[in-house]
Amino acid sequence: MTNRSSAAPTHTSVLTINGGSSSIKFALYQTGGPLEQIFHGSIDRIGLPGTNLTFSDSAGNRKGSLILESSDTRSVSNFLIDWLEEQIDFSLISGVGHRVVFGMKHTDPERITQELLNELHRISPYDTDHLPAEVELIEALRQRYPKLPQVACFDTAFHRTMPRVARLLPIPRRFDAIGIQRYGFHGLSYAYLMEELARLADAKTAQGRVILAHLGNGASITAVHGGKSIDTSMGFTPTSGLPMSTRPGDLDPGVAWYLMQVENLRPYSLIISSIMNPVCSEFLKPVPTCATCSTVNCRTYGRPRRLRCFATRSRNGSARSQQCWEEWKH
């Protein structure tokens, strides 16, 4: 911990927070005129050994780093708020802006309410790498400062201009009707890149045909024409597209089904956690076979889903399959 920064704002300010899959970046800007950055920093290697916070003020007079004792998201969120409280007077903060990775139908910045938080909780399973941690940090700040306005800026918003042909997935249309489509991600990064392209080159160049790349722990590329996104490599979740640090990108779905059979892997854990997000490798464990009929995956999450022992039971009700069913229930 450090003493309050000498660069702390004396007027109202805005705190920005960018929660990624393995880091949190933050910055404080003084308002009341042209935005002026006061200080910035990041917490890296979240969930890994050696989690650390680094910070620097804009003048370069103060900088440093701290090692965190705990690396889980809840501990990291509370540590960051504690540290910020030592640097700045929260009564001078007029609002907090959050990068929120997945917005689905939400396309514009929104004031965070309990209703919006409930919606983010509901869609969290679509992006387990980002949303749960982002929501946890938002809720930690709401608990400490319930009257402090917080705003969600959605990473999917930049791609809302994609034509329908780019948003459609090759699956039955009834799924598109319930929101299963290509959304695209890293939108805030791409919006910034387009602003910088217009500033450093010229408006005509920015309105032309442009290929943008966001390369980090997560990675994607986007095609832009007329200043608008027309296609992007990521789709329904941030796991698709280019190969990434802990995400394989586009992967033949047959690989997952093949591994489930030859490696005795849980379907849910394999597809969602282990292959699509290999960092969660603790889920990559064999499933016990049925003690009665030796059927693979006899026990699974929730109700049975076309598993061989249950299919046999439904056809002829054999005593062996009936016993398998009784074992599964218990």
Q: Report, as residue numbers or ranges, the catalytic residues.
A: 155
Q: Which two tokens stand for residue 47?
A: 């969930």
Amino acid identity, position 233: S
DSSP code for 227: T
CA distances from 247 to 227, 237, 259 (A): 29, 11, 17
What is the full DSSP assignment across 184-216?
A: ---HHHHHHHHHHHHHHS-HHHHTSEEEEEEES
Beta strands, E only, the chain:
13-19, 24-30, 36-44, 52-57, 63-67, 93-100, 110-111, 150-154, 209-215, 219-225, 228-232
Best CA proximity match to 88, nearest among 62, 60, 50: 62
C-beta neighbour count of 179 within 10 angstroms: 12
CA 44-49-52 angle, to 5 degrees, is 35
CA 25-28-31 angle, to 5 degrees, is 145
Which residue is associated with the tokens 């991600």? 185
Q: Which two tokens stand for residue 179?
A: 């929101």
Secondary structure class of 148 (helix, strand, coil): coil
